[in-house]
Structure 1
Amino acid sequence: MGFIGDIGGFIATPLYYAISAVLLAWHELFTLVGLDPDGGSAWALSIIGLTLTIRALLIPLFVKQIKSSRNMQLIQPQVRELQKKYGHDRERLAQETMKLYKDSGTNPFASCLPILLQMPIFFTLFRLLDQAAKNNTAHGFLTVDLARSFGQSRIFGNIPISESFWAARTWGPTPDGLVMVLALILVLSMTATTFLTQRQLMAKNMPADALSGPYAQQQKMLLYVLPVAFGLGGVAFPVGVLLYWTTSNIWTMGQQFYVIRNNPAPGTPAAAAKAERDRAKARKHGAVVEEATESVPEPPRPATRQQPKRMTKQQRKGSAPPNKGGRK
């Protein structure tokens, strides 16, 4: 157990320093603008600032995620053809599918990268806040005084950001009751934003032929499984950590909305909506808009028969063949 703990500490230590550095930078900024350094508002806003900083750094990975997700949608008809052709041979099907992924530049695991990279940050922030609240334990750049200030800070008057829904479990106009109300609001917000983000992707940025098959079934499963998982796990997380995760979800939803609206996948409802907006914008500026219609080649016309010119009697006599055999 000691060896495993050493490995965990070796991995967590750089994260403690990175997260605490960003957190304290935001805290210093909010202190300079006049907020109480020991108040919950300064620390809560610092958590939001930490979230925005992390999500901004993850934008390149999010772009890769969007591209990979789009490619996965577009190659679904080819995947289904491979399944029909090699359904009896699982090994050959796997080989041909991986070849298709490689040829199309698709990484089926790229869509998981942002959330996989956020999970260590999420749990490091949880441990940072939990230990600061319980033992005044300092990690990273946090000093003992800053750890005490962070762990004991309160928002909305008397709600500790280190308390969780499950730890409070006392309804009523008491601090614990208010913790449960705020934590429940954040858990429901986290669940709703997770659901709406996934629903937005399926409803607007998936072509009709990609709404069936294994990939579509996987997306439908995630649509309901992820919100439930986050909802059940959220009751054990402190208010400060829920604030981080809810802010991150709102960022994801807004970022995805922007990408889908301005760069939708071909053949999707979002692409049709963008084309209509572009036509409306062109009409507004007085441009001539041609409706997109499929060009159908015209069938070849039959060759026109050349009619002979009418000749006069004199012309016919002059063009008559010479008389043979002396006949007049």
Structure 2
Amino acid sequence: MLDFIYYPVSGIMWVWHWLFSHVTPASPGGDGIAWAMSVVFLVFTLRAILYKPFVKQIRTTKKMQEINPQLQAIRKKYAKDRVKMTEEMQKLQKEHGFNPLLGCLPMLLQIPVFIGLFHVLRSFNRMGTGMGQLGMSAAETRSQGNYVFSAEQVQNFLDARLFGVPLSSYLVEPATEFQAFVEPGAPIDFTRPQIAYVVVPMMIVASIATHMNSRASVQRQPEAALENPQTRMMNNLALYIFPIGILVTGPFFPVAILLYWMSNNIWTYGQQHLVFGKIAKEEEEAKRLKQEKLKANAPKPGARPDRKKRNAAAADSGSAGVSLTKANSTDGASETSETSSPGESTAADSGAGAKPKPGQKPTRSGAGAAPGSKKQPPNRGGKSTAKRGGKRGGGKR
């Protein structure tokens, strides 16, 4: 059903076993070290393939933390419009080049690998009757191949011992299936307590390593991300639920699976420090270059700042306003000259709203009148106001 997973996983394991079988010496019960190292380097090979997606996951996570306040603002603003909320969030993510799938891609790719390795390891011993098992006898399971492994290699794996126990044995395995790990008719050379002595410490180490990796990842998160309820929930799952899950399910996992889990955590711990250190150096270098650029653009000590560009920009921005003001002034002056009468020029020259001198009567000309005010009626007597004033003055004398 999932042969496209089982064959590649078993093929990588076969290559590493072939290599280590020529390096490590054979033991009386089989080359357990070679098989154990093939499992360890199977993990390392797969994690090396997933290195670039892991780096993208870290960068995606950091970018998610940067835009998280904006996402929260969008959720709050469009709380009653789910469609608009989704559109705005997708738009924001697209603007920042954020892809949510990259954040979970490495984890999603590791799931089929884990399932494939679990199935391949269980298929070395097919005496079980559970899911994926064929219920074979001990003789049949030792004479059948296992995907890319031949029947002889299956026998070598079943006879191999790591700390005195088979690599595909597990703590709650039925005793009837122990016969597959020895030659037909030979006595069982291990006990269930021996399996517990190997499995329980490996479970504890794998659980602690999972917790430490999660803790190192959480400590690198900014405070703004830690205030998010969803982030806190995921952090609690990674810090406590997953490690406890290993302790609960550990008795059902073969020794080789626990070895896989420990190796995976060791790789993750080293890879996190490498990637986060690399990203920190990149950020520090970008910060240094920015400071050098600002320092290069800053004026030297004792020198006046170069204001040519700023003055030129101010002149450009103010030229439009000056020309507009001149145009308006010209228009206003033309309108005044058109609407004012010849008798109003004296008042215009003296200035609108000017105070009269002591003893002088205020002029009643329309020069200072507001636009639209009524003009003075014409002098029908044919005598100017000045002449009448002169007669009055003569009378007084």
What's the offset of the Cα at 1:215? 4.1
Among residues 207, 210, 229, which one is paired with 2:225 in the alignment?
210
| Match of residue 189, structure 1, among 183, 205, 210 | 205
The answer on 1:222 being equivalent to 2:214 is no
1:147 aligns with one of 150, 154, 178: 154
**Inter-partner Cα distance in structure 2 for 1:132 and 1:60:** 33
- Structure-1 residue corresponding to 2:249: 233
- Read off the aligned partner of 2:151 and give its amino acid letter: V
Code of the residue aligned with 1:229 in structure 2: it is G
Given residue 27 of structure 1, which amino acid in structure 2 is its aligned partner?
H
- Structure 1 residue 48 displacement after superposition: 0.7
Provide Cα deviations, 1:59-98, integer angstroms capped at 9, x if missing partner.
1111111111111111111112112211232332222222
The answer to whether the 8 Å contact 2:170/2:251 transfers is yes
The alignment status of 1:101 with 2:93, answered yes or no, reads yes
Task: Specify the alignment match of 2:125 in structure 1.
Answer: 133
**CA displacement at 1:44 relative to structure 2:** 0.5
Deviation at 1:159, TM superposition (A): 1.2
1:265 is displaced (CA, Å) by 10
SS across alignment from 2:252: coil
Match of 2:6 in 1: 16
1:216 CA drift (Å): 2.0
Q: Deviations over 1:285-327 (max 9, x none)?
A: xxxx9xx9xx9xxxxxxxxxxxxxxxxxxxxxxxxxxxxxxxx
TM-score by length of 2: 0.59
Distance 2:116 2:78 in 1: 45
Normalised by the size of structure 1, how large is the TM-score? 0.71
Shift in CA distance, 235/140, structure 1 to aligned 2, threshold 3 Å: same
Are 1:253 and 2:241 counterparts?
no
- Greater shift, 53-62 or 24-33, is seen at 24-33
Distance 1:67 1:16 in 2: 31
1:12-37: CA deviation from partner (whole Å, max 9, x where unpaired): 22323212222121112112124228
RMSD of aligned Cα (Å): 2.9
Report the counterpart of residue 322 of structure 2 in structure 1: none
Which residue number in structure 2 is paired with residue 77 of structure 1?
69
Q: Are 2:60 and 2:98, in contact at CA under 8 Å, matched by a contact in 1? A: yes
SS at match of 2:145: coil
Of 48, 53, 57, the residue aligned with 2:40 is 48
Instruction: Check whether the contact 1:61–1:113 (CA below 8 A) recurs between aligned residues.
Output: yes
Deviations 1:192-222 (CA, angstroms, capped at 9, x unpaired) = 222211211111x212222112442243233
Aligned partners of 2:166 and 2:19: how far apart in 1? Answer: 22
Residue 21 of structure 2 contacts residue 31 of structure 2 at CA under 8 Å; is this kept in 1?
A: no
Distance 1:220 1:103, change over 3 A: same
Q: Which residue in the other structure is 1:25 paired with?
A: 15
CA contact (8 A) 1:68 1:110 kept: yes
Query: Match of 1:263?
Result: 279
Preserved contact between residue 57 and residue 102 of structure 2 (Cα < 8 Å): yes
AA aligned to 1:30 is: F
In the alignment, the residues of structure 2 paired with residue 180 and residue 106 of structure 1 have an alpha-carbon distance, to the nearest angstrom, of 46
The question of 1:160 aligning with 2:166 is answered yes
Distance 1:111 1:188, change over 3 A: farther
Q: Please give the secondary structure, in 1, of the residue aligned with 2:26.
A: coil
Structure 2 unaligned residues grouped into runs of 5+: 127-140, 176-189, 299-397
Contact 1:17 1:141 in 2 (8 A): yes
| Amino acid of the structure 2 residue aligned with 1:213 | N
Contact 1:69 / 1:111 at 8 angstroms: preserved in 2? yes
- Per-residue CA deviations over 1:127-153 (Å, capped at 9, x if unaligned) read 212121242342321001111212332
Structure-2 change in CA distance of 1:76 and 1:187 (3 Å): same
| Residue type at the aligned position of 2:232 | Q
**Number of the residue aligned with 2:108:** 116
Equivalent pair of 2:207/2:244 in contact (CA under 8 Å): yes
Instruction: Report if the CA contact (8 A) 1:165-1:235 is conserved.
Output: yes
Q: Distance in 2 between matches of 1:215 and 1:178?
A: 43
- SS in structure 1 opposite 2:253? coil
Letter in 1 for 2:107: I
